[in-house]
């Protein structure tokens, strides 16, 4: 159901120089409409092979969100593989910890989307696994955000979280035990045998201190990425602690895997000391996004508290904030009314968004997943919402 919301934000200013347009467009972010995007949601309705997964980050392989004839790499974490017939999940389905899909072009055309899962039938496996001499079936990788890096030969860099099952009776019986950066050389064929991993050195997982999960979002604000207001840095966002505080680091993209070159935002500026990193927001989701709306306007998009139904936005003058007050773009209860299910980890996909819009995805899951899935095998896939900001007006470029 289409609805319109009027919101006053603390950061004003008009946009000039919308990327990809000959004319400049002004976005009035105080007014917007939000509605389901069934063209994108239906793209991920599958009955055979890949039929569900969460995560869904979208990486343009050109390294530019505004690439006209581009291909996109979708990243998924836990992935379901099997057969659905007559709306019933058939025996023999399996879960693998990550998968990808490649979309030719940027339109939601099913014939242009190919899912890729490592292994073969009855022996599927994750594409990305912890780089260790002691493999452990209870330790695996979930994928964070990533980007194709024009300053590193368009190699693809993907953040990932090493997860270990705890086998306790909590709703989330697992914990993060590592944070890594994966590098895939440009043009590498699937399943990326040449991939390399580096562990981020910023957390001590045995200390009991709050850790920062870096890679919840990435924004490459460089000329190579086609950003009109480039400052030469790639911003890497991290989630800290149980209050889901958002922190940010920045680094020159050519040094993305030189962790001693990272700087962290704090109350007085930037520091090489990760312990000085200060929160630029809180109650965000473990996956989120920062996208440029216009000149001096950057939209932070996330799901409130990670799993509440509110998809929220805050706007700030730089990719590191300071971000204005929290506003609600959409409530997922408009679409998901089933009490067995919950929604989580909303984020925007600027590479899939038209000028003046943000295409936003969110995930669907259940706390009784394996009990509910056979009866509702269609639950575990992304849904999409399209947010349009105001009525853009154009004027001559200057």
Nearest Cα to 187, choosing from 220, 154, 157, 224? Answer: 154
Looking at the DSSP bridge assignments, the partners of residue 327 are 313
Cα 373 to Cα 16: distance, rounded to the nearest angstrom: 47
pLDDT reported for residue 7: 31
Report the relative pairing of strands 99-104 and 174-184 from DSSP bridges: unpaired
| Residues 233, 251 contacting (CB under 8 angstroms) | yes
Q: Distances from the Cα of 184 to the Cαs of 46, 127, 193, 221, in angstroms?
A: 27, 12, 9, 21
pLDDT reported for residue 352: 96
199 alpha carbon, distance to own chain's centre:
20
Q: Distances from the Cα of 4 to the Cαs of 24, 299, 329, 330, 349, in angstroms?
A: 24, 18, 9, 10, 21
pLDDT reported for residue 396: 36
Domain tally for the chain? 1
The token duo for 107 is: 């339109």
Cα 35 to Cα 107: distance, rounded to the nearest angstrom: 18
pTM metric for this prediction? 0.91
pLDDT reported for residue 25: 59
pLDDT reported for residue 68: 73
CATH label of the domain that carries residue 199: 2.115.10
Helix/strand/coil (H/E/C) assignment for every residue in the chain: CCEEEECCCCCCCCCCCCCCCCCEEECCCCEEEEEECHHHHHHCCCCEEEEEEEEEEEEECCCCCCCCCCEEEEEEEEEEEEEEECCEECCCCEEECCEEEEEECCCCCHHHEEEECEEECCEEECCCCCCCCCCCCCEEEEEEEEEEEHHHCCEEEEEEEEEEECCCCCCCCEEEEEEEEEEECCCCCCCCCCCEEEECCCCCCCCCCCCEEEEEEEEEECCCCCCCCCCCEEEEEEEECCCCEEEEEEECHHHCCCHHHCEEEECCEEECCHHHCCCCECCCCCCCEEEEEECCEEEEEEECCCCCCEEEEEEECCCCCCCCCCEEEEEHHHCCCCCCCEEEEEEECHHHCCCCEEEEEEEEECCCHHHHCCCCCCCCCCEEEEEEECCCEEECCC
pLDDT, mean of each 10-residue run, the chain (398 residues): 33 35 58 96 97 97 86 97 94 96 96 95 91 88 98 98 92 93 97 97 93 98 97 98 97 98 97 97 98 94 97 97 96 94 97 95 96 94 95 42
pLDDT reported for residue 69: 65
Range of 361's domain?
A: 3-395
The token duo for 133 is: 């001499």
pLDDT reported for residue 391: 56
Give the residue carrying structure tokens 């389905």.
93
User: Computed over its alpha carbons, how large is the radius of gyration of the chain?
Assistant: 20
């Amino acid at each position: 159901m289409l609805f319109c919301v009027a919101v006053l934000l603390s950061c004003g200013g008009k946009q000039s120089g919308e990327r990809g347009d000959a004319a400049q467009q002004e976005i009035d972010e105080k007014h917007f409409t939000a509605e389901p995007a069934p063209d994108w949601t239906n793209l991920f309705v599958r009955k055979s092979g890949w039929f569900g997964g969460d995560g869904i980050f979208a990486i343009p392989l050109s390294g530019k969100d505004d690439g006209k004839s581009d291909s996109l790499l979708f990243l998924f974490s836990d992935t379901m593989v099997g057969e659905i017939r007559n709306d019933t999940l058939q025996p023999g389905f399996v879960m693998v910890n990550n998968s990808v899909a490649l979309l030719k072009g940027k339109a939601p055309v099913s014939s242009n989307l190919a899912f890729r899962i490592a292994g073969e039938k009855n022996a599927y496996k994750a594409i990305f696994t912890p780089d260790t001499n002691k493999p452990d079936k209870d330790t695996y990788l979930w994928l964070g955000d990533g980007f194709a890096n024009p300053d590193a030969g368009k190699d693809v860099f993907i953040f990932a979280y090493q997860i270990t099952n705890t086998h306790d009776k909590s709703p989330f019986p697992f914990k993060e035990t590592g944070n890594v950066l994966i590098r895939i050389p440009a043009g590498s064929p699937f399943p990326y045998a040449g991939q390399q991993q580096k562990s981020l050195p910023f957390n001590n997982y045995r200390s009991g201190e709050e850790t920062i999960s870096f890679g919840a979002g990435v924004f490459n604000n460089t000329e190579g990425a086609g950003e009109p207001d480039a400052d030469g840095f790639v911003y890497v966002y991290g989630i800290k602690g149980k209050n889901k505080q958002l922190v940010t680091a920045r680094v020159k993209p050519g040094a993305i895997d030189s962790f001693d070159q990272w700087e962290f935002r704090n109350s007085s500026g930037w520091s090489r000391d990760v312990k000085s990193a200060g929160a630029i927001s809180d109650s965000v989701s473990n996956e989120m996004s920062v996208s440029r709306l216009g000149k001096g306007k950057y939209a932070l998009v996330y799901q409130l508290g990670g799993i509440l139904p509110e998809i929220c936005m805050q706007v700030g003058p730089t990719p590191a904030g300071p971000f204005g007050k929290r506003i609600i773009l959409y409530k997922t209860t408009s679409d998901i009314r089933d009490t067995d299910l919950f929604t989580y980890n909303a984020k925007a996909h600027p590479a899939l968004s038209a000028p003046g819009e943000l295409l936003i995805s969110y995930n669907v899951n259940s706390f009784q997943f394996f009990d509910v899935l056979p009866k509702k095998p269609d639950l575990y896939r992304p849904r999409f919402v399209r947010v349009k900001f105001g009525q853009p007006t154009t004027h001559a470029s200057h």
